[in-house]
């Protein structure tokens, strides 16, 4: 099978399109014929091995030589202990807890990581959902405890997590302000943003608005600036950002919570099949839709990751996997 492989840390040019053996599923696994996969910021971090926490299990070289956590495809083979999936089932899921491997024609995955794909959802749409949409849902619902009528700010709203976050916040009846670059504002309006802020022209921190909940995908301001934007008993949730901000939240967050009654939280990524199922139900009901900016073939994964790293993507970047007609 064809796969995009990297054997050392670096920029996307270290990725190699090569032929490797098709894996064999273990007893609790299924072999997936991958039809589509999507690119996440975690792929970018693991590829470069930065920050160093992304080298856990592989300090000098990658532990998992094939990136790609979000996949959609068809069950090709099943292990002897698999109970809930059948050959031919169309599925999707976040396989970051199963050894990664989505940027390939086939991958072995534990069945408990996979959700059934609705027939109304394309493979590309399904691949766009797992990591970004689950992060947005967990950030708003679990960490943020979003309520109807709240004022919500999403910083970095035009990417994968942000576009899902906007739609989920509107589903919960929130008034949403989105911050991003000029090129992404029209899309955010179409998706339902009540207010948009172009960070290239105005500073959202200086506008004097206050919010019940902040979902932060980029982490480009200090904890003290975010704190000023929160109403009493408000909540800040960090999904993405630098280690310096993580350190600030860990050090000063408990103090701010105790003295000012403002909650400063970090969301740790946790793949969750139940949340994937909730999101596919919202998709079928027409409440959310994946925003796909570009679709690349497998042999152009390096270009796709480069595009993600430029920060210009509107929504998700998806990889379409083509297969030989005779299969395996």
What is the rounded average pLDDT of the residues 214-218?
97
Per-residue pLDDT tens digits for 264-308: 999 998 899 999 999 999 999 999 999 999 999 999 999 999 999
Q: Return the CATH architecture of domain 2-129+290-320.
A: Alpha-Beta Complex (3.90)
pLDDT higher than 90, residue 154: yes
**54-75 average pLDDT score:** 91
Average pLDDT over every residue of 237-246: 90
Burial pattern 298-328, b for ≥16 Cβ within 10 A else e, equals bebbbebbebbbeeebbbbbbbbbebeeeee
Measured in degrees and rounded to the nearest 5, phi and psi for residue 43 equal -60, -45
Rounded to an integer, the average pLDDT of 220-229 is: 95
Q: Give the model's pLDDT for residue 55.
A: 84
> pLDDT-based confidence at 263, cuts 50/70/90?
very high
Give residue limits of the domains in the chain.
2-129+290-320, 132-266
CATH (residue range 132-266): 3.40.50.720
Which pLDDT score is estimated for 86? 97
327 has pLDDT over 70: no
**Residues 6 or more apart in contact with residue 60 via CB below 8 angstroms:** none
Mean pLDDT across the chain: 95
Indicate whether 72 pLDDT > 60.
Answer: yes
Taking phi over 0 as left and psi of -120 to 50 as alpha, with beta for the rest, 273 belongs to alpha
Q: Which long-range CB contacts under 8 A does 306-314 form with residues at least 24 apart?
A: 306/11, 306/12, 308/39, 308/40, 308/41, 308/43, 308/44, 309/12, 309/44, 311/159, 311/181, 312/181, 312/183, 313/158, 313/159, 313/160, 314/158, 314/159, 314/163, 314/183, 314/184, 314/187
| Dist CA 86 CA 160 (whole Å) | 31
Q: Is the pLDDT of residue 60 over 90?
A: no
> Going by C-beta distance under 8 Å and a sequence separation of 6 or more, which residues neighbour residue 89?
74, 75, 116
Question: Above 60 in pLDDT, residue 322?
Answer: yes
DSSP 159: B
Contact 133, 288 (CB under 8 A): yes
**Helix 160-171 vs helix 130-137: angle between axes, to the nearest 10 degrees?**
50
pLDDT higher than threshold 80 for residue 326: no
Confidence of residue 224 (pLDDT cuts 50, 70, 90): very high
Please report the pLDDT score of residue 14 as a whole number: 96
164 — pLDDT class (breaks 50, 70, 90): very high
Whether the predicted pLDDT of 205 surpasses 90: yes
Q: Is the per-residue pLDDT at 328 higher than 80? A: no
Give the model's confidence band at 199: pLDDT under 50 very low, under 70 low, under 90 confident, else very high.
very high
Looking at residue 137, its pLDDT comes to 98
- For the segment 96-150, what is each residue's pLDDT rounded down to a tens digit? 999 999 999 999 999 999 999 999 999 999 999 999 999 999 999 999 999 999 9
pLDDT for 87: 97
């Amino acid at each position: 099978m064809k796969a995009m492989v990297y054997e050392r840390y670096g920029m996307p040019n270290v990725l190699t399109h090569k032929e490797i053996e098709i894996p064999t599923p273990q007893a609790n696994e299924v072999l997936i014929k991958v039809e589509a996969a999507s690119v996440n910021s975690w792929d970018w971090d693991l590829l470069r091995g930065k920050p160093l926490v992304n080298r856990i299990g592989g300090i000098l070289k990658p532990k998992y030589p094939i990136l790609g956590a979000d996949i959609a495809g068809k069950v090709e083979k099943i292990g002897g202990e698999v109970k809930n999936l059948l050959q031919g089932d169309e599925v999707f899921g976040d396989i970051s807890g199963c050894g990664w491997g989505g940027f390939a024609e086939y991958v072995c995955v534990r069945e408990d990581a996979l959700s059934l794909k609705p027939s109304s959802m394309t493979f590309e749409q399904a691949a766009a959902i797992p990591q970004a949409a689950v992060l947005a849902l967990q950030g708003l619902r679990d960490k943020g405890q979003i309520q109807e009528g709240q004022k919500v700010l999403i910083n970095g709203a035009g990417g994968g997590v942000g576009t899902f976050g906007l739609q989920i916040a509107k589903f919960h009846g929130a008034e949403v302000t989105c911050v991003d670059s000029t090129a992404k504002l029209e899309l955010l309006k179409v998706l339902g943003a009540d207010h948009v802020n172009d960070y290239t022209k105005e500073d959202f921190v200086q506008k004097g608005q206050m919010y019940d909940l902040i979902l932060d995908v980029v982490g480009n301001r200090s904890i003290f600036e975010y704190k000023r934007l929160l109403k009493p008993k408000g909540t800040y949730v960090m999904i993405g950002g630098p280690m310096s901000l993580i350190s600030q939240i860990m050090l000063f967050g408990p103090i701010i919570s105790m003295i000012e009654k403002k909650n400063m939280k970090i969301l740790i990524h946790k793949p969750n099949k139940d949340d994937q199922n909730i999101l596919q139900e919202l998709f079928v009901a027409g409440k959310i839709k994946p925003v796909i900016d570009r679709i690349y073939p497998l042999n152009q994964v390096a270009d796709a990751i480069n595009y993600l790293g430029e920060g210009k993507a509107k929504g998700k970047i998806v990889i379409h996997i083509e297969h030989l007609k005779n299969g395996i």
